[in-house]
Structure 1
Amino acid sequence: MTGTDPTGAAGGPAAPPRTPLLAIHEAAGAQLIDFAGWQMPVRYGSDLAEHEAVRERAGLFDLSHMAELRVSGPDAAALLDHALAGRLSALEPWQAKYSLLLAEHGGIIDDLIVYRTGDTEFLVVANASNRHAVLDALRSRAAGFDAEIIDETEQTALIAVQGPASLAIVERLGLESEPLEGLRYYRSLPGVFEGEDVLIARTGYTGEDGFELYIAAHAAEDLWRAILLAGEEHGLTLCGLAARDTLRLEAGMPLYGNELSLDVLPTQVGLGRVVALKTKGDFVGRAAIEAGPAAEAPVLVGLTAEGRRAPRAGYPVLDGDLVVGAVTSGALSPTLGHPIAMALVEPGSATSDSLSVDVRGTRLPAVTTQLPFYKREASA
């Protein structure tokens, strides 16, 4: 098993990783932030305009900070069944699956996407902030399995096109692949762009139709420019991480570090369905999942409110005069026009009609709401 050398050429600490599209973002006037050690665009102009572009037309995202780990070998499927909460051996070639990497005590180390790219090869895509935790856990759990784990993060670019016009835009790229129109959600295809291999995945984190394209880092600028050209007549808009966050919140998608952490079990956050208790044998964390969380463990709820004041992560949630939890993610929804939030609250208050959020000293009455807050209309 091999991975990225943690030291620089001179033996000192390695330079921070850089998205291969950094120069393009700087030229486009993006506001950059440090995100898990990567300089990433948080916005190019207006968060609202970028959010609306994805809901109404299409948005273009650089997601090259995400971690790409290649797992291959005769025991690759068996290793992932042991290491992750899902039954990855059941994946068909080019199928993708959302899964969880659990600790022995059942807490969530990371949530991730797994693509089966061959009979004995898988691509595991993890959150940037958990790259090394996932890599270390997989390598530790690989003992006794004939499988290799290679960290390809810094050699890989990930570019996403999201929104109703995404299919029309990606089809105009001239990718050498099978037709994209029939590609189902959470499926992928191998393709070629200007001589470079590209993994074309119909996946995303926005609640809209879209594609995520994995390509060698050295080819990223050419692909980015080709997408911009293909998207001109469709109103394609450059989008940063701020818009991606409000899009995923509206879609009720959890974010690691907010809704997900080592301190919560999947059932507390509505992800019990992701754990394959009935369809596979032992895996790391199984005993803790079977035992379940403590009776008083908080559960995730959706909250909506009126007005324009947005609940933010960390704001207290009250049931009457008692603090019963805290907001994990919140915003004034650009699409719905009112405040929305996800919060972890005491189970006895999950269906209470007396909830409110303390927004900087002001009580904001809140109503529990089934997730997601927003769901796109099915294609005709």
Structure 2
Amino acid sequence: MEALKRTPLYQEHLRLGGKMVEFGGWEMPVQYESIIEEHKVVRNVAGIFDVSHMGEISITGKDTIPFADYLVTNSVATLKNGEICYTPMCNERGGVVDDLLVYRISNKKVMLVVNASNIEKDFNWVLERAKDHDFDVSIENISNNVAQLAFQGPRAEEILRGISQVKLEDIPFYHFVYGKVNGIDCLISRTGYTGEDGFELYIDPEAAVPLWRKILEVGKPLGVKPAGLGARDLLRFEACYMLYGNELSDEISPLEAGLKWAVKLDKEFYGHKALTAQLEKGLEKRLRGIELIDKGIARHGYELYADDKKIGWVSSGMMSPSTGKRLALAYVEKGYWKIGTEVFVKIRDKFVKAKIVKTPFYRGSVKSKA
């Protein structure tokens, strides 16, 4: 069995009492003290996450922008330099190879930020797609040269401002700048995966420990703490952000996942034909929010029923601390996805009553693009 990879902060996680688990081929902290406590810290103040396991792919060259536009469903050509877009990347059937962020650095350079479990798959996919039209680009997997910290919460800007050498308030949502934080060279972006405001700091791996420690030091008087994968999953779930392998896969299209806003059918991209055909035919299933009326937690893979037949399955489900409700995201068949529709979740041998509800379940301090 292949050894698990470790981020530059591995020893820090151990020092802070992190409970380490396997995630996407990496050894990562699922929690330190408590998932609920870490969730609360991010919702109320700010928490720091080690997301150095995420992958980074650099694309440079004359055809960088047209190639990136061909690679993903969202529009890279309409981004200004210094802007970011969230986007699916599709296969020929319209299924999602991965969901990722595209950072437009210049007219001849972009950075793709991809999911940890998909780094090799995505890198090979990007290399193959470059051959489709003989694009003049250079593609490099720079994941091992980049560490990433995510500092998320309503007071993230206020806390980070004290050690930042750039004006954080001047960075709009889904934009980035190059600058220094505590004297350390960073690419600083403002996206987030928690439903709260915050920043991502891309740095040299050797700078990860000193910057991590400094943020914890300056944030300590306000209650800043490190947060693990457990809190991160709970936070993204409440905000209804996708988790690859749950809401998205090679077999699920972005249209079914409710990501039509990130699919620009007025341009050519890989998988365009399949998504156009799916839209013309009409969707057979869609991702929907569910609230359980009776007791129980709907877990990933649990089946949904209505009218004595299976009508879908749960992609993610948890007890939501922010709302006090038992919630789930689920793929639901046509005819049953209207808000308010009564459905049943099969939990072991019981059918638990639930209803289709609006998403997102929770909206925090996250900025708007408007």
1:312 to 288, 299, 305: 299
Q: CA deviation at 1:41?
A: 0.5
2:272 to 286, 290, 294: 286
Unaligned residue ranges in structure 2 (runs of 5+): none
Aligned equivalent of 1:66: 54
Q: CA-to-partner distance for each residue in 1:238-285, whole Å, 9 max, x for gaps? A: 10001111111100111110110111111111011111112x2x2111
Structure 2 Cα separation of the partners of residues 105 and 120 of structure 1: 29
SS in 1 for 2:148: strand
1:366 equivalent in alignment to 2:359: no
Q: CA deviation at 1:134?
A: 1.0
Structure 2 Cα separation of the partners of residues 131 and 286 of structure 1: 23
Contact 1:307 1:338 in 2 (8 A): no
Aligned equivalent of 1:148: 138
1:217 equivalent in alignment to 2:205: yes
Q: CA deviation at 1:150?
A: 1.0
What amino acid sits opposite 1:334 in the alignment? P
Structure 2 Cα separation of the partners of residues 30 and 116 of structure 1: 35
Q: 1:26 to 1:125 in 2, by over 3 A?
A: same
Aligned equivalent of 2:26: 38
What aligned pairs does 1:73-112 form with structure 2 within 5 A after superposition?
73-112=61-100
Q: Give the TM-score normalised by structure 1.
A: 0.91
Structure 1 Cα separation of the partners of residues 35 and 52 of structure 2: 20
SS in 2 for 1:266: coil
Aligned equivalent of 1:167: 157
Q: CA deviation at 1:106?
A: 0.7
What amino acid sits opposite 1:172 in the alignment? G
Unaligned residue ranges in structure 1 (runs of 5+): 1-12
Structure 1 Cα separation of the partners of residues 259 and 283 of structure 2: 18
Contact 1:308 1:332 in 2 (8 A): no
Aligned equivalent of 1:29: 17
Structure 2 Cα separation of the partners of residues 378 and 313 of structure 1: 26
Structure 1 Cα separation of the partners of residues 207 and 220 of structure 2: 21
Aligned equivalent of 1:263: 251
Q: Give the TM-score normalised by structure 2.
A: 0.94
Q: Which moved more, 1:352-361 or 1:213-222?
A: 352-361
Aligned equivalent of 1:176: 165
Structure 2 Cα separation of the partners of residues 38 and 126 of structure 1: 14
2:119 to 131, 136, 139: 131
Aligned equivalent of 1:240: 228
Q: 1:15 to 1:377 in 2, by over 3 A?
A: closer
Structure 1 Cα separation of the partners of residues 218 and 105 of structure 2: 27
Aligned equivalent of 1:10: none
SS in 2 for 1:231: helix
What amino acid sits opposite 1:228 in the alignment? L
Contact 1:160 1:212 in 2 (8 A): yes
Structure 2 Cα separation of the partners of residues 302 and 73 of structure 1: 42
Structure 2 Cα separation of the partners of residues 274 and 362 of structure 1: 38
Aligned equivalent of 1:48: 36
Structure 2 Cα separation of the partners of residues 98 and 151 of structure 1: 19
Contact 1:86 1:274 in 2 (8 A): yes
Structure 2 Cα separation of the partners of residues 360 and 15 of structure 1: 35
Q: CA deviation at 1:348?
A: 1.5
What amino acid sits opposite 2:79 in the alignment? L
Contact 1:17 1:154 in 2 (8 A): no
Q: CA deviation at 1:47?
A: 0.8
Q: CA deviation at 1:233?
A: 2.0
